Amino acid sequence: MPSVERSKGLGAMLRGLFDIATTQIGRRLRDKNVTIAVMGPTGVGKTSFINRASGSDLRVGAGLESMTQDVQRSQPFQLGDYRITLIDTPGFDDTRKTDAEILLQISNHLSMIARERRYLSGVIYMHRITDNRMGGVATRNFRMFMHLCGEQALPNAAIVLNMWNEVNADVGNARRQELLTNEKFFKPAITAGAKAFEHDDTVQSAHRILCHLAQQPPKILLIQQEIVRKHVQIGMTSAGLALLQDLVDKEVKHRDRLQQTQKDIEEAIRQREEGDRVELEEALRELESTYKKLVQQKTSLLPTRSTRSWRPLLLRRLKHRATNVESSPQSLLS
């Protein structure tokens, strides 16, 4: 090939490479990095949603045990002009970790990204439309979600009702209506600006939800504000206090049951009911073990500072929230 033509060919190739490079750099500069967290009870389909949306291959649970034990991130993926990363979280009813451990994990991760001034464009709360009751687990998870977000971040929240392909349309629509209009369920979040979506396990429905969230200006969540900006100790944050209140209430109930079981054992001994005594002692051991775990969980949330100045404040806050003030005695915070 003559040298003039060879140099023309080389020039065209270099121009081509230059175009590719500048388009990619331009795209990268134009792209907006977006982070969105996914929360909700164990087994609702958080990881499946993330895999579907991002093409990741995070582990999905097929059995009865919780699958996602630690906060994890999807591979970043492109959606229009947005480069999205999804954060997967364990649910508060995890079968292997305590609620206190889950709270610490989620708040540590959220604090870490807030310290790098990376705030979330969206937070998803997932709920199965197949659930025929808003049971204790869902209620507790949603309450924690609200405490973690705080009211001012709720315009960046999405309530995602999934598993629509598993339910009759009329039943699903009636449940959706009740969930979104009842003050005890999702209405407070919707009133504060959260938007509800249906997800039918397709890439399209996942991307529609993410497109809506990606367009929101990133907001700092309440837990990030409390820990990173105000240096509040985890047990004194809104979410920490809600969990402490739960633990204190459970501890009171367990302590009462322990005392009653001890009395029943003494009565069985007096009445020489050997079978009853053995059964009651077995129940007592189980109660003692659960009680010990509750106390450990609670202690892990309490401030570790040597100063005891947090105690009166914490007691005031817990009493303020307690349904039964008398059931939260000072001794429970020792």
List interacting residues with ligand GTP (CB under 6 A): 42-48, 60-62, 66-68, 90-91, 162-163, 165-166, 201
Beta carbon nearer to Mg ion, 67 or 87: 67
Enter the tokens of residue 146.
């609200």
Helical axes 136-149 vs 99-115, angle rounded to 10°: 20
Is residue 67 near Mg ion by the rule CB under 5 A? yes
The minimum distance between CB 214 and ligand GTP, in angstroms, equals: 21
CA separation for the pair 85, 120 (Å, rounded): 10
The minimum distance between CB 99 and Mg ion, in angstroms, equals: 16
β-pairing, 32-39 vs 77-79, is unpaired
34 within 8 A of 121, measured Cβ to Cβ: yes
For CA atoms 224, 225, 226, 229, give the dihedral sign.
Answer: positive
Angle at the Cα of 133 from the Cα atoms of 182 and 188, rounded to 5 degrees:
25
To the nearest 10°, report the CA torsion of 304, 309, 311, 313. -120
Q: Candidates 19-27, 59-67, 237-245, 276-284 — which segment interacts with Mg ion by CB under 5 A?
A: 59-67
β-sheet bridge partners, residue 77: 84
Is residue 68 near Mg ion by the rule CB under 5 A? yes
Is residue 297 near Mg ion by the rule CB under 5 A? no
The minimum distance between CB 84 and Mg ion, in angstroms, equals: 18
Beta carbon nearer to ligand GTP, 201 or 279: 201
The minimum distance between CB 188 and ligand GTP, in angstroms, equals: 23
Beta carbon nearer to Mg ion, 46 or 83: 46
The minimum distance between CB 52 and ligand GTP, in angstroms, equals: 8
